[in-house]
Chains A and B, each alone.
Chain A
């Protein structure tokens, strides 16, 4: 198993540009989520999904869109990048057997918005 994969590893955008961060998992996990990590702020939830076709907002959803057309993939879209979106983005997945399942994280995407 590759686990949770994310692409790209690094990205530099100009303000106003759009892009999609890719996330895929091969563990047949129902639950997937996106976090951003900023210094001193820990991980903050952006969006999450409990299964294909179902998504919901987390703590900091503004400026981001998600969709879940398949179990495996959960892309995160930045519609119009802003410098405040400079961060490290992590995708995670877990089974949905109650809430005891361990979340597994991808390696992250480091995004810089100029």
Chain B
């Protein structure tokens, strides 16, 4: 069965510092991995995805994520955090070759950036 773990409920970082939001996954076969962000009282917004190729994926708002197959991880990173990055972040996975199947989401990590 597919699963996603986000081991930290909350990540606190000071503005200007680098941030990392962790995600590990379990899937049979090759994974397709996604990061979404949710601002208060809003829907989920797509940030980036890994399908194949370069392990470092760049996305919206200066975020990037590194795919590590041996560690089954897909951590979200940003070199310099902004207060406006404060939000709820979700990692999601789908196994390759399963067109039409749903994304499996982690429970989410709240990122709090202090000024």
Contacts and interface: CB of A to CB of B under 8 A. Distances in A.
A75 interface: no
For chain B, what secondary structure do more than half of its interface residues adopt (helix, strand, loop), or is it mixed? loop
B94 interface: yes
A93 to B, nearest CB: 12
B57 interface: no
A99 B27 CA distance: 14
A99 B107 contact: no
A45 B89 CA distance: 17
B100 A43 contact: no
Contact of B108 (A42, A99, A103, A104): A42
A98 interface: yes
A100 B32 contact: yes
A74 interface: no
B95 interface: yes
B57 to A, nearest CB: 13
A106 B100 contact: no
Given A41-B107, A42-B107, A48-B102, A99 B96 contact: yes
A7 to B, nearest CB: 13
A28 B108 CA distance: 29
B90 interface: yes
A35 B32 CA distance: 19
Interface of A: 4, 30-31, 33, 35, 40-45, 48, 50, 58, 90, 92, 96-100, 102-108
13 contacts: A40-B9, A41-B107, A42-B107, A43-B90, A50-B100, A92-B44, A99-B94, A99-B100, A102-B46, A103-B46, A106-B43, A107-B43, A108-B43
Interface of B: 9, 32, 34, 36, 42-46, 49, 51, 90, 94-103, 105-108
Given A100-B49, A100-B51, 17 more contacts: A35-B105, A42-B105, A43-B90, A90-B44, A96-B99, A97-B99, A98-B96, A99-B97, A99-B98, A100-B32, A102-B34, A102-B49, A103-B103, A105-B44, A106-B43, A107-B42, A107-B43
